[in-house]
Amino acid sequence: MSLIVSPRLVKLTTRTEVDIKRSFPQPALRRIGAWVFLDHFGPTKQVDGMVVAQHPHTGLQTVTWPFAGLMEHRDSVGSIQVLRPSELNLMTAGRGISHSEISQVGPELLHAAQLWLALPEADRNIEPFFEHHAELPVLEFGDSSAKVFIGTLGEAKSPAKVFSPLVGAELEVSGEMELPLEETFEHGVLVVSGEIFVNGQLVAVNDLVYLPVGETATVSGNGVALLLGGEPFTEHIVMWWNFIGRSHAEIVSWREAWNAQGEDWAPFEDAIGGWIPAPNLPNVTLQSRG
Ligand code: MN
């Protein structure tokens, strides 16, 4: 049985004009495969743009997927990258990286998805690195197409480095597409724009259809959607702020190291300046979730 999940609205203190739509994690849906976080914002006029100063990540990969507008990414391994629509920006945090993001304010609307993938135990402490891929494989379905930005869909395989079996693709829907889904994956289809039907059911913009392992998907109509999927990720993780660990103690140590701005986190030059301190921990032990 598929499940329709509406996003939770999140206000960011740094960007008061922009509502963030968070599809997961939330009580109705914690994750899809190793995909553990999905934010979608815009399309929005760049009233205040997007300005996120240096902050750290551990134990995960971040995907920034712009639909419209330009952003600049900088990070502590020396990357400086302009993020353009329909190009993949993948940051593998491993044992720890910090980065900043600033939109290049212009006449274009700003519209993007930001996603996190949990790294499995064997890989979560690797050295951090950043990848940018402008050339990505596309599967054609008549007038519709799927740009596979990460993982594998049918015959199409993204060059991006992944650590568990998964898929992420942007669907340009014009007509009907019967997606060649992996039988061992669970999937989600987020409707980004237009009038989109999943297995014959109309799905509102910003809603996500969750498809359990083994379900098929025919996507039809006219518009844009994101397809996410992966083998169920069964490790228990602790997600807090920008960190993914395995225990409360690990989160505490990363938080202290970041806020001390010691040698673990090399600062870098950017147009924003400064860094975002980690907030206070709640007065309870953070619990891991499977
Ligand atoms: Mn970040």
Can you give the pLDDT at residue 44?
A: 84
pLDDT at 15: 59
What proportions of the chain, in percent to the nearest 5, are helix, strand and coil? 5, 55, 40
Tokens of 21: 């739509």
The CATH architecture one would assign to domain 3-230 is: Sandwich (2.60)
Q: Tell me which residues of the chain have a pLDDT lower than 70.
A: 1, 13-17, 47-48
Strand-pairing partners, residue 211, are: 187
209 Cα to the center of ligand 1, angstroms: 25
Integer angstrom CA distances of residue 138 from 149, 217, 247:
9, 18, 39
pLDDT tens, residue by residue, 241-280: 999 999 999 999 999 999 999 877 778 999 999 999 999 9
Q: Please check whether residue 204 is in contact with residue 91, taking contact to mean a CB–CB distance below 8 angstroms.
A: no
> What is the residue extent of each domain of the chain?
3-230
Position 6 scores a pLDDT of: 96
Q: pLDDT at position 281, please?
A: 93
What distance in angstroms lies between residue 99's CA and the mean position of ligand 1's atoms?
A: 6
E strands in 134-165: 138-141, 144-153, 156-157
Token pair, residue 232, equals 């169920």
Q: What's the pLDDT at 14?
A: 60
Bridge partner list, 202: 197
Of 203, 211, 208, 142, residue with least CA distance to 178 = 142
Q: Compute CA 59 distance to the chain's CA centroid, rounded to the nearest angstrom.
A: 14
What pLDDT is stored for residue 158 in this prediction? 98
What is the C-alpha separation between 24 and 34, in angstroms, rounded?
12
With b meaning 16 or more CB within 10 Å and e meaning fewer, what string describes 106-136?
Answer: eebebbbbbbbbbbeeeebeeebbbbbeeeb
* Cα-to-centroid distance, 176 and ligand 1 (Å): 35
User: Over pLDDT 70: what percentage of the chain?
Assistant: 97
Cα 51 to ligand 1 centroid, rounded to whole Å: 11
Q: What pTM did the predictor assign? A: 0.96
Q: In the chain, how many H helices and how many E strands?
A: 1, 22
